[in-house]
Amino acid sequence: MIRITDEDMDLKKIAESGQTFRAKMVNEGVYRFIYKSSALFITKKAPCTFEVSCSPKEWEKIWIPYFDLENSYFMDPKDFENPYLKKAIEAGKGIRILRQDPWECLISFIISQRKNIPAISSCVEKMSGERGREIETPLGTVKSFPDPSSLLSDLSSFKLGYRQAYVEEAAKNVAEGKLDLGALAALPDAELKLELKKIKGVGEKIANCVLLFGYHRMSCAPVDVWIEKIINEWFKGVNPFPEMGEKAGILQQYLYFYARSI
């Protein structure tokens, strides 16, 4: 058993929050998360208490950072004036901003254009199943997300449409070293966003998704159709995130989750 901080973690909310497309419930209450060449099966047993498929050493090295468990997400709804935001904070409790692999994050969100979450998840899972590397786990073999070189051959079977050219170019540039996603991590937010937007198929929204979910830049808040609707209806058309500082990414996830659940 693993005991986490006093701030609880909701696996279902995280898996359905739209920030990752391979997290899923594989059995009743058992959730699977994959990070690079590691896979975790995790089950909530009691408040703040989880059963995990990994060793304590792996939990500390990989999964505590992945779930961002070293940082506090506590927010008191009373500190916020907007009534919708107050409700979203209550509804979103338990969501964590995952520290994902920038490569997987980039390709997943390029694929996400004009697709719903089930369609994106299905596509990413199919690509991983056919092009990923095997990961042995106590519950069987799973596949990693494909590395850049594995996406250099024909991708037509994945039915990516116009996105195929974007994925192919990104894979080629990373495989050849023209695009170093690791080196980009040293850049400040604004410069990193500019570099990401140079990648074919990456606009403002996808760049912010990669910034938040791939590089853990917490002041970045992606604006999709759900968030745009919230801004228009509950914030009088004025984007509130620039004023939220390092809480922006967390509050964006709370708002996104709440909007899709009511």
Catalytic residues: 205
| Cβ atoms 1, 50 nearer than 8 A | yes
**Quick one: how far is CA 9 from the chain centroid?**
15
Collapsed DSSP state (helix, strand, coil) of residue 225:
helix
- Give the span between the Cα atoms of 239 and 127, in whole angstroms: 35
User: Could you tell me the strand order of the sheet in which 2-3 lies?
Assistant: 2-3, 49-52, 38-46, 30-35, 24-27
85-107 in b/e form (b: 16+ CB < 10 A) is bbbbbebbbbbbbbbbbbbbbbb
To the nearest 10°, the Cα dihedral for 60, 62, 63, 67?
110
| Cβ atoms 105, 213 nearer than 8 A | yes
- Give the span between the Cα atoms of 109 and 81, in whole angstroms: 32
Q: What residues have CB less than 8 Å from 144, skipping those under 6 apart?
A: 34, 36, 37, 128, 132, 133, 134, 135
Over its C-alpha atoms, the chain yields an Rg (Å, rounded) of 18
